[in-house]
Structure 1
Amino acid sequence: MDASEAVALLMSPQGRLDPYPTYERLRAHGPVVEAAPAFFVVTGYAEADAILRDARFGVLDDDLRDNLWPGWRQSAAVASISRSMLRTNPPDHTRLRRLAAGAFTPRRIAAMRDVVTAQADQLIDAMAERGRDGEPVDVMADFAYPLPVGVICALLGVPPQDRPLFRRWAADLTGILEPEITPEDLAVADRGATELSDYFAELVAARRRAPADDLTTALVQVHDADGDRLSGEELLANLVVLLVAGFETTTNLLGNGLVVLLDHPREATALRAHPDFAPEYVDELLRYDSPVQLTTRRSDAPARVGGMELPAGSWALLLLGAANRDPRRFPEPARFNPWRAQPHPLSFGAGPHYCLGAGLARLEAQVAFPLLLRRLPGLALAGTPRRRTRLTLRGYDTLPVTVTAAVGDRGTPAGTGPATP
């Protein structure tokens, strides 16, 4: 199978559901392969990492978008994403990112551990009650979504009663991030973008009337003080992307990771007994089945990567899920091994666009997995989980499990020190 055929397979429904065999077909052609004129596919870890950090490579900006898709401003989804830090290059990206970065410092994130633990405990209590008679419980609906959405909504100042609205709106909008999208999918994404923007327009108006101690108020005050630092379009677009990125990736990490742990009972038992192993486990879960599988970059100048010459104007499809299984970086990459030495997966990217909320996502997962395993010791799959048919954001639609009546004590136990795996 040549590279272009492998890319076509990757975009198919079968390829999206399980991309890893196709990644290996592409890897057989080398860490960087030209699948079409000026279109390169990257499966190598070192090569993907280098491109993400290289100033010669950027994301799709307005000028490029105008050339490729003159009518893009008529799409609410494309227009919204294009005004966010997700799809801007320096200096605009640097300016936008700096405005929100204060909410995601390591100190602020560490201070949220008790809040995350309390929310996780409440959700586990509800799961145990709902499944006490042996009825299946959907982890995605009852835990993996409400935990991270509750955390990011608290940061943004979204009232608790509004949080259930966002799962469908975000699912609709994020279709725009897929490498191929149909007109029907675009219409759905536009609907989600419009609903989200309308919601945040109302929240912005509310914060002008009654400021609060939240990130929305902080960004509103920046905009009102100096529109050159943050325009009205940028304000709404970045509130939308902070919300969606703040839970979508973590939701998928929690679902993907729990399935891996249930499939590896020995490793799950070790984490249950030693919650202080959680940072290593979470990094390996991110590597093993990344919630973000790909991103793209375009070169502004010629570059040599992985032995290939990429002319100026080339597109690079960076398959992060494949890079995370590069055998040159990770011995036995298809084996789940939480005791790897410093895995550093590329699941949150690298360089200027490294995920602003990566630390918060890691914290939520580091709290969630040991708590789930300890408080629900009989946790087991109840049927086959159903995957979403998406490639960029890899996760589950539903994840049915059964729980036992015996529920462990609340709260994260103190670490018991290292153990020999």
Structure 2
Amino acid sequence: MGGDDIVRALAAGGTADPYPLYAQLHQLGEALALTAPELPYSAAVFGYRAVDRMMRDASFEVHDALRMESMTPTWRDHPVLVTLMNSMMFSNGDRHGRMRGLFRKVFTPRRVLTMEPEIVRITAELLDRVAELGADGSEVDYMAEFAYLLPARVVGQLLGLPDEDISWFRSQVDLINDWLDFRRKGPEVMTAANEAAARITEYYLELIAQRRKEPQADLISDLTQAVDSGLHEVTDLELVGNLLVLFNASFSTTIHLFGNALPLLLERPAIRSTPELMPAYVEEVLRYDTPAHVFIRVASADTEFLGVQLKEGELIAVLTGAANRDPQRFAEPDRFDPARTDNQPISFGAGAHYCLGAALARSEAQVALPMVLERFPQLALGSEPVRTDQLILRGFRSLPITVADRVLVKAGGSADASG
């Protein structure tokens, strides 16, 4: 199978198990040109060193507003594009640095560290709920009742979003993620994403205005105060775009980190007695079954990259999911091995656009996963899980678990536990 066929297979339905396709790509080198007319990408980069190099090279940019002008002149008619183009995720050079500088000032490693007590508190509350739902041995959807709710509530606490708004926020972000995915987008997906972006923009603008009048101990208050101090030239619409990206970076990836981790941990019961090894396990989950598989870059000029000729403006699919299984970088890449030395998965990207929410995602997983395993010694997978059909964020849509033996109620009214 040639490179075009492999990438076509990934885009068409390779999300169920992309790893055999990645292994075929690695047999072709580190990067290759794509010529199939139906593919929007002119090249794929998938070797670990090649991915790292491209993401650190400023001549390979993210898609930004300047490029949208030539490629999609009507882009301002689409709220999802307007919102995203106002973010650092879709900005280059000085504009990216200006916005990133603001968020670095207030979203610091120290702030992530201070979130740990909240992570513990929220985790305990959610596990109480899981215990209640599964007390009689009934299946509980781990994704719906835990993996979705924990990162959403944590980032909600960080930003200052009311708990009652979190489920609504999640639904809106999911619509935008559908549009961002690796596959071609249909008009109905764009329409849904546009509507979601318009709703989120209105919501955030109202919240920013409230925080200006009555600051609270949250990130949005600190951001607005930093902007109003005159030290950071960031507009309110740029704040909205970046708050959306931060919510996405701190929420969507973490959901699937929790989901992808659980089956791997349950296959290795020794981790229950060695919770101090959880950071190494989390890193290996990020490498072995990473949530984030695809980043997009744009050639800023006619150039050559590892033998691939690229023209200015052409799109490149940067396959971080494949890079994490590169046999040239990781010995026996298809084996889950938390004891790997120099294990540095490239799941959160590299260079100037390194994921802003990476530290928070790692912290949540390292704190919460040991609590899950400790709380439920009998935790086991239930019926068949359901995978998402995305590749940009690959994980489970549903992951049924049981946390207690099933209780059978006899005709006489007494209960009998059945293992």
TM > 0.5: yes
Name the CA distance, whole Å, in 2 between partners of 1:347 and 1:106: 19
Question: Which residue number corresponds to residue 27 of structure 1?
Answer: 26
Decide which moves more: 294-303 or 313-322.
Answer: 294-303
Residues 311 and 69 of structure 1: CA distance in aligned 2, closer, same or farther (over 3 Å): closer
Name the CA distance, whole Å, in 2 between partners of 1:26 and 1:65: 30
Decide which moves more: 216-225 or 302-311.
Answer: 302-311
Decide which moves more: 320-329 or 386-395.
Answer: 386-395
What is the CA-CA distance between 1:315 and the residue it aligns to?
2.7
Name the CA distance, whole Å, in 2 between partners of 1:65 and 1:18: 33
What is the CA-CA distance between 1:369 and the residue it aligns to?
1.6
Name the CA distance, whole Å, in 1 between partners of 2:396 and 2:287: 17
1:126-162 alpha-carbon deviations (Å, 9 max, x no partner) = 1011100011111111111111111111111112222
Is 1:163 matched up with 2:162? no
Percent identical: 41
What is the CA-CA distance between 1:209 and the residue it aligns to?
2.4
1:292, 1:347 within 8 Å by CA — same for their partners in 2? yes
**Equivalent residues in 2 for 1:62-101, closer than 5 Å:** 62-101=65-104
1:14-50 alpha-carbon deviations (Å, 9 max, x no partner) = 3122222222222222110101288111110000000
Name the CA distance, whole Å, in 2 between partners of 1:103 and 1:271: 35
What is the CA-CA distance between 1:228 and the residue it aligns to?
7.2
What is the CA-CA distance between 1:347 and the residue it aligns to?
0.5
Question: Which residue number corresponds to residue 300 of structure 2?
Answer: 300
Question: Which residue number corresponds to residue 417 of structure 2?
Answer: none
2:139, 2:401 within 8 Å by CA — same for their partners in 1? yes
5+ residue gaps in structure 1? 407-421
Which amino acid in 1 is paired with 2:63? L
Q: CA RMSD in A?
A: 1.9
SS, match of residue 394 in structure 1: coil
Name the CA distance, whole Å, in 1 between partners of 2:232 and 2:123: 40
Residues 202 and 149 of structure 1: CA distance in aligned 2, closer, same or farther (over 3 Å): same
SS, match of residue 16 in structure 1: coil
Question: Which residue number corresponds to residue 191 of structure 1?
Answer: 195
SS, match of residue 241 in structure 1: helix
What is the CA-CA distance between 1:114 and the residue it aligns to?
2.2
1:276-302 alpha-carbon deviations (Å, 9 max, x no partner) = 111111110001111110101112245
What is the CA-CA distance between 1:166 and the residue it aligns to?
1.5
Residues 106 and 222 of structure 1: CA distance in aligned 2, closer, same or farther (over 3 Å): closer
1:336-394 alpha-carbon deviations (Å, 9 max, x no partner) = 11111121111100000001111110010011221111211111111111111111011
1:173, 1:191 within 8 Å by CA — same for their partners in 2? no
What is the CA-CA distance between 1:400 and the residue it aligns to?
0.8
What is the CA-CA distance between 1:205 and the residue it aligns to?
2.1
Which amino acid in 2 is paired with 1:95? R
Decide which moves more: 287-296 or 221-230.
Answer: 221-230
What is the CA-CA distance between 1:309 and the residue it aligns to?
4.4
Question: Which residue number corresponds to residue 256 of structure 2?
Answer: 252
1:140, 1:397 within 8 Å by CA — same for their partners in 2? yes
1:288, 1:336 within 8 Å by CA — same for their partners in 2? yes
Question: Which residue number corresponds to residue 371 of structure 2?
Answer: 371
> Alignment partner for residue 112 of structure 1, among 112, 115, 130?
115
Name the CA distance, whole Å, in 1 between partners of 2:297 and 2:405: 50
Which amino acid in 2 is paired with 1:259? P
Decide which moves more: 96-105 or 3-12.
Answer: 96-105
Which amino acid in 2 is paired with 1:196? I
Name the CA distance, whole Å, in 2 between partners of 1:373 and 1:102: 35
Question: Which residue number corresponds to residue 50 of structure 2?
Answer: 47
2:386, 2:398 within 8 Å by CA — same for their partners in 1? yes
1:144, 1:251 within 8 Å by CA — same for their partners in 2? yes
How many residues were matched structurally? 401
**Equivalent residues in 2 for 1:194-273, closer than 5 Å:** 194-226=198-230, 229-262=233-266, 264=267, 267=268, 269-273=269-273
Name the CA distance, whole Å, in 2 between partners of 1:379 and 1:141: 16
Question: Which residue number corresponds to residue 351 of structure 2?
Answer: 351
Name the CA distance, whole Å, in 2 between partners of 1:315 and 1:227: 35
Is 1:391 matched up with 2:391? yes
State the TM-score, normalizing by the size of structure 1: 0.91
Name the CA distance, whole Å, in 2 between partners of 1:23 and 1:186: 29
Decide which moves more: 209-218 or 19-28.
Answer: 19-28
2:205, 2:236 within 8 Å by CA — same for their partners in 1? no
Question: Which residue number corresponds to residue 410 of structure 1?
Answer: none
**Equivalent residues in 2 for 1:288-327, closer than 5 Å:** 288-327=288-327
Name the CA distance, whole Å, in 2 between partners of 1:162 and 1:28: 47
**Equivalent residues in 2 for 1:128-167, closer than 5 Å:** 128-167=131-170
What is the CA-CA distance between 1:111 and the residue it aligns to?
2.6
Residues 157 and 405 of structure 1: CA distance in aligned 2, closer, same or farther (over 3 Å): farther
5+ residue gaps in structure 2? 407-419
Name the CA distance, whole Å, in 2 between partners of 1:61 and 1:340: 37
1:78, 1:176 within 8 Å by CA — same for their partners in 2? no
Decide which moves more: 61-70 or 341-350.
Answer: 61-70
What is the CA-CA distance between 1:245 and the residue it aligns to?
1.9
